[in-house]
Chain A
């Protein structure tokens, strides 16, 4: 670094010192000149007196012209070398001059960065500030910071155009930002930069954030990471937040029951929460069915309070329907959580195929499901008809004891469940053998005297029995059952008081499978009945809830997602050159890659990055619809907009307001462009001079 003894006290620094070696090229014009002179030809000459007189008169002029040309050519080479070395004029900063500055820009993508004030989001302010910093830094690393932190440029880049385009492409997310992952990403970026940029470079880390409390309430481990990082880089927080604290959120929109049948009443419940510090009175909540308003209510929300808004509705038409609950985008500064969407599948009835073996054993189940006022239609088939049966016409299949399945039948059943169907297996002494079962049979029959254990009624199937202990579920006498061990991904709905599972459910593909460890009938084994379950008052509701859960919840969960979850659907047929497409909430469509054989007849879309309704199309025809909502569960107890005060930030970090002019390297002034402009000008001068002198000589 050259310290020039000139006023003002400053240093002339070069970004690339190695390029200064090319200054030696400045001697080239002199060498070329003298080389050409050395390569002169010799000739005898008679009119020497005339020539000498001419040379004497012309000598000074010629010499000046040659020196002038040589000086211009030398200057061109020197300036090119200097420009390549990127000279920077730096003012003193606290007595120390800074060298190469590597900026790490950590852009907060948390949900609260979507907060709008005067038409501009916090995130847009962060982007604007990031662009300013990009223009000042020598090299830049950009880290997108949300629940995960991602280095978007890899190695530090000096390409400002690239860095600015990366900043422009950033968008805020819907989650909180995790400070710990950001610190790890920054540390990794600095380690990488140390290998890429000149030794002695200065690292400056800028967190462009709104100082959300969810993010900056630093844990002790994060403080340790911060301290370590502060040893290697100057850490600065640029607070792009504001004083907006009021936020109303629709935190949930639910439907009961989830199995929606035409002309049957269903209840919708929207949960609202005031996450601000001021009460909101007379807040208007509106509900839309496929864009048509169907209900509107006013609610009062105290500060920090919650309120549920309910209404009932009967669907007239079959098919998929979208319910939207909204308080309008003007309700607060964070409009992203002012809407909630729900996609339901409306059917006229549920169709259940009961597949029985030689022993029968589904009569009681059929009888139980017939008491559903036509909501469930059951048909009984011998298991031998499975291969010729079109299971896609049914919502669920029940397999009774003794239904031994061939490999082809097992594949058929497995495909049915993978595509979204439901299967309930009622075990007996002749167990169903299929790899699809989420359990492992330990003992065929266990004898004794047992009762059901509802496991705290936590599962939706047995939840209706909570507080209704006399409804008969606990009074069922069980003398035999099949001992089974549930798979890891399976849920135990109901157990025996011996601790063994009685009813297990699990996902399989897009559908669900349930296994009951005893027959759903009064069958006997060695002269004694398995259980009194079939005659228990709890049998009918358990069967109804089981079928409803398997069919309804499976479909409901598949079509109502949280942000970031993948949308999966069974394939719809394509004709000709038709393609699968996904219509996004913005109205735009994006192509879906055609599924392969390994996708087992399913198509997947993993880009749910926006809240709203997505629709899968096959050749222009919608075949699946998805509601994607914000998972607001983490913000219910605290406002997403709550911020940490600047003076409460972890140690080792300084703050700056976005309006403040940040000096990346104080007083930096790059001469490179001026030098290059001078080179261009000198090239013109050289050409003109050479032409003019050449003309004069000619």
Chain B
């Protein structure tokens, strides 16, 4: 476990203009607290020498060193992966929700996190693909390991418009059909919508041998429901509105939320998918660490 030395809380990040700057800040902040990978293997990047011992593969003997020193050393390289990471980012209207006192909306938080993650993946010379969706797939950036590819991803995220309803289950099925090469699918969404359809979509992806990481983003108000006085809640995504006494329904709402989260989490667990509930006021450093700790194997593969 590594802790981020820089302050990566959304309050600080919100003061930075532009997703690109925010994502770099997150990545720099995150990496400044990291050590190098402990995984070694075949790679183009040389790391160190070690003395030959019986049984070692002679293909890795460094003959130049042998010629100079008359000692047999073996070359060692960092592990090499060929991971394709698919970032599926929800850009439906519900992701625009931002409660009072919270620095970033759910979508802003998701974009920052997705951009930071893409940067990290590209730094490992893995490939990253991006898809934004609401009730349909809105934009698709094909997988690429080129570091310059990151700017394209950020540009797509920045120009996404949060104005449509979501239909996550249907979109996941659609995406599943599009993805040819198995990889790591990271879903950034509040998952609001038809839960059965959502689970069905996730299963489809899992069936296609994709690794799944579901990042469930919620606003703090959605988690705590802190309202006190009579409030009219106007539904995003053209849902109906309701006037209610929040204190009277808080318990019931929290219960509904817990059931919903529990159901999604249980479904992910059953299909061996990773699930992480993230709050949009949570430090990016902590969020990244939680995500990467879960997926370290996948990202480093």
A587 contacts B by Cβ under 8 Å: no
Q: What are the residues of chain A within 8 A of B240 when measuring CB–CB?
A: 48, 52
In the complex, are the beta carbons of A45 and B249 less than 8 A apart?
no
State how many angstroms separate the Cβ of B223 from the closest Cβ of chain A. Answer: 10
State how many angstroms separate the Cβ of A41 from the closest Cβ of chain B. Answer: 5
Q: What are the residues of chain A within 8 A of B159 when measuring CB–CB?
A: none
A292 contacts B by Cβ under 8 Å: no
Q: What are the residues of chain B within 8 A of A44 when measuring CB–CB?
A: 97, 233-236
State how many angstroms separate the Cβ of A268 from the closest Cβ of chain B. Answer: 97
Given A43-B234, A698-B247; A49-B253 close (CB under 8 Å): no
Binding stretch for chain B, among A54-62, A502-510, A523-531: A54-62
Q: What are the residues of chain B within 8 A of A43 when measuring CB–CB?
A: 227, 231-234
Q: What are the residues of chain B within 8 A of A52 when measuring CB–CB?
A: 239-240, 242
A42 contacts B by Cβ under 8 Å: yes
State how many angstroms separate the Cβ of B276 from the closest Cβ of chain A. Answer: 18
In the complex, are the beta carbons of B243 and A40 less than 8 A apart?
yes
Given A48-B236, A50-B256; A40-B247 close (CB under 8 Å): no
Q: In the assembly, what is the distance between CA of A3 and CA of B227, in Å?
A: 51
In the complex, are the beta carbons of A45 and B255 less than 8 A apart?
no
Q: What are the residues of chain A within 8 A of B230 when measuring CB–CB?
A: 36-37, 39-41
Contact of B231 among A40, A61, A694, A696 (CB under 8 A): A40
A65 contacts B by Cβ under 8 Å: yes
In the complex, are the beta carbons of A58 and B248 less than 8 A apart?
yes
Q: What are the residues of chain B within 8 A of A65 when measuring CB–CB?
A: 248
**Contact residues on A (Cβ < 8 Å of other chain), bracket:** 20 to 34
| Contact bitstring A6-36, B, C-beta under 8 A = 1, else 0 | 0000000000000000000000000000001
A53 contacts B by Cβ under 8 Å: yes
| Contact bitstring A565-585, B, C-beta under 8 A = 1, else 0 | 000000000000000000000
Contact of A54 among B95, B96, B255 (CB under 8 A): B255
Q: What are the residues of chain A within 8 A of B211 when measuring CB–CB?
A: none
Q: In the assembly, what is the distance between CA of A50 and CA of B260, in Å?
A: 8
In the complex, are the beta carbons of A46 and B94 less than 8 A apart?
yes
A2 contacts B by Cβ under 8 Å: no
In the complex, are the beta carbons of A46 and B190 less than 8 A apart?
yes
Q: In the assembly, what is the distance between CA of A225 and CA of B178, in Å?
A: 118
In the complex, are the beta carbons of B232 and A40 less than 8 A apart?
yes
In the complex, are the beta carbons of B222 and A42 less than 8 A apart?
no
Q: In the assembly, what is the distance between CA of A66 and CA of B247, in Å?
A: 12
Q: In the assembly, what is the distance between CA of A41 and CA of B233, in Å?
A: 9
Q: In the assembly, what is the distance between CA of A57 and CA of B244, in Å?
A: 12
Q: In the assembly, what is the distance between CA of A57 and CA of B249, in Å?
A: 9
Chain B CB count within 10 A is highest, among A42, A45, A62, A698, for A45
Q: In the assembly, what is the distance between CA of A390 and CA of B32, in Å?
A: 125
State how many angstroms separate the Cβ of B166 from the closest Cβ of chain A. Answer: 10
* Interface members, chain B 211-267 (any A CB < 8 Å): 218-219, 222, 227, 229-237, 239-240, 242-245, 247-253, 255-257, 260
Q: SS class of chain A's interface: helix, strand, loop or mixed?
A: helix
Of all chain A residues, the one with the shortest Cβ separation from B97 is A46
B140 contacts A by Cβ under 8 Å: no
Contact of B244 among A53, A55, A698 (CB under 8 A): A55
Contact of B219 among A37, A46, A55 (CB under 8 A): A46
Q: What are the residues of chain B within 8 A of A46 when measuring CB–CB?
A: 94-97, 106, 190, 192, 219, 222, 236-237
A455 contacts B by Cβ under 8 Å: no
In the complex, are the beta carbons of B260 and A45 less than 8 A apart?
no
A308 contacts B by Cβ under 8 Å: no
In the complex, are the beta carbons of B236 and A45 less than 8 A apart?
yes
Chain B CB count within 10 A is highest, among A52, A57, A65, A66, for A52
A47 contacts B by Cβ under 8 Å: yes
Chain A CB count within 10 A is highest, among B106, B192, B252, for B252
Q: What are the residues of chain A within 8 A of B106 when measuring CB–CB?
A: 46
Q: What are the residues of chain B within 8 A of A696 when measuring CB–CB?
A: 251
In the complex, are the beta carbons of A50 and B247 less than 8 A apart?
no
Q: SS class of chain B's interface: helix, strand, loop or mixed?
A: mixed
State how many angstroms separate the Cβ of B98 from the closest Cβ of chain A. Answer: 9
**Contact residues on B (Cβ < 8 Å of other chain), bracket:** 35 or more
In the complex, are the beta carbons of B229 and A55 less than 8 A apart?
no
State how many angstroms separate the Cβ of B239 from the closest Cβ of chain A. Answer: 4
Given A51-B242, A65-B248, A698-B247; A41-B190 close (CB under 8 Å): no
Q: What are the residues of chain A within 8 A of B253 when measuring CB–CB?
A: 50-51, 54
Q: In the assembly, what is the distance between CA of A66 and CA of B244, in Å?
A: 12
In the complex, are the beta carbons of A66 and B245 less than 8 A apart?
yes
Of all chain A residues, the one with the shortest Cβ separation from B248 is A62
Chain B CB count within 10 A is highest, among A37, A48, A696, for A48
Q: What are the residues of chain B within 8 A of A698 when measuring CB–CB?
A: 247, 250
Q: In the assembly, what is the distance between CA of A45 and CA of B192, in Å?
A: 11
Q: In the assembly, what is the distance between CA of A250 and CA of B85, in Å?
A: 131
In the complex, are the beta carbons of A47 and B192 less than 8 A apart?
yes
Contact of A42 among B232, B236, B237, B248 (CB under 8 A): B232
Q: In the assembly, what is the distance between CA of A126 and CA of B122, in Å?
A: 111
| Contact bitstring A295-307, B, C-beta under 8 A = 1, else 0 | 0000000000000
In the complex, are the beta carbons of B234 and A45 less than 8 A apart?
yes
In the complex, are the beta carbons of B231 and A55 less than 8 A apart?
no
Given A46-B222, A46-B236; A41-B251 close (CB under 8 Å): no
In the complex, are the beta carbons of A697 and B247 less than 8 A apart?
yes
Q: In the assembly, what is the distance between CA of A648 and CA of B232, in Å?
A: 84
Q: In the assembly, what is the distance between CA of A697 and CA of B239, in Å?
A: 25
Chain B CB count within 10 A is highest, among A37, A44, A58, for A44
Q: In the assembly, what is the distance between CA of A333 and CA of B44, in Å?
A: 137
Q: In the assembly, what is the distance between CA of A696 and CA of B222, in Å?
A: 20
State how many angstroms separate the Cβ of A29 from the closest Cβ of chain B. Answer: 15
Q: What are the residues of chain B within 8 A of A39 when measuring CB–CB?
A: 230
Q: What are the residues of chain B within 8 A of A697 when measuring CB–CB?
A: 245, 247-248, 250-251
In the complex, are the beta carbons of B249 and A54 less than 8 A apart?
yes
Q: In the assembly, what is the distance between CA of A40 and CA of B190, in Å?
A: 27
Q: What are the residues of chain B within 8 A of A54 when measuring CB–CB?
A: 249, 252-253, 255-256
Q: What are the residues of chain B within 8 A of A694 when measuring CB–CB?
A: 247
Of all chain A residues, the one with the shortest Cβ separation from B247 is A697
In the complex, are the beta carbons of A57 and B252 less than 8 A apart?
yes
In the complex, are the beta carbons of A58 and B234 less than 8 A apart?
no
Of all chain B residues, the one with the shortest Cβ separation from A47 is B222
Q: In the assembly, what is the distance between CA of A54 and CA of B260, in Å?
A: 12
State how many angstroms separate the Cβ of A695 from the closest Cβ of chain B. Answer: 10
In the complex, are the beta carbons of A62 and B236 less than 8 A apart?
no
In the complex, are the beta carbons of A50 and B257 less than 8 A apart?
yes
State how many angstroms separate the Cβ of B169 from the closest Cβ of chain A. Answer: 14
| Contact bitstring A437-459, B, C-beta under 8 A = 1, else 0 | 00000000000000000000000
Q: What are the residues of chain A within 8 A of B250 when measuring CB–CB?
A: 697-698
Q: In the assembly, what is the distance between CA of A281 and CA of B236, in Å?
A: 116
Q: In the assembly, what is the distance between CA of A148 and CA of B260, in Å?
A: 93
Q: In the assembly, what is the distance between CA of A694 and CA of B245, in Å?
A: 12
State how many angstroms separate the Cβ of A40 from the closest Cβ of chain B. Answer: 4
* Interface members, chain B 181-202 (any A CB < 8 Å): 190, 192-193
Q: What are the residues of chain A within 8 A of B235 when measuring CB–CB?
A: 44-45, 48
In the complex, are the beta carbons of A58 and B247 less than 8 A apart?
no
State how many angstroms separate the Cβ of B156 from the closest Cβ of chain A. Answer: 23
| Contact bitstring B13-56, A, C-beta under 8 A = 1, else 0 | 00000000000000000000000000000000000000000000
Of all chain A residues, the one with the shortest Cβ separation from B235 is A48
Given contacts A41-B229, A55-B249, 18 further A-B contacts (CB under 8 A): A40-B243, A43-B227, A46-B222, A47-B192, A48-B235, A48-B240, A48-B242, A49-B239, A50-B257, A50-B260, A51-B233, A51-B244, A53-B252, A54-B253, A55-B252, A61-B248, A66-B248, A697-B248
Q: Which 7 residue pairs are nearest across A and B when measured between Cβ atoms?
A: A697-B247, A48-B235, A54-B252, A40-B230, A46-B97, A46-B94, A54-B253
Q: A interface vs B, CB < 8 Å?
A: 36-37, 39-55, 57-58, 61-62, 65-66, 694, 696-698
Q: B interface vs A, CB < 8 Å?
A: 94-97, 106, 190, 192-193, 218-219, 222, 227, 229-237, 239-240, 242-245, 247-253, 255-257, 260
**11 pairs, CB–CB < 8 Å, chain A vs chain B:** A36-B229, A44-B233, A45-B97, A46-B237, A50-B192, A50-B260, A51-B233, A53-B252, A53-B256, A54-B249, A697-B250
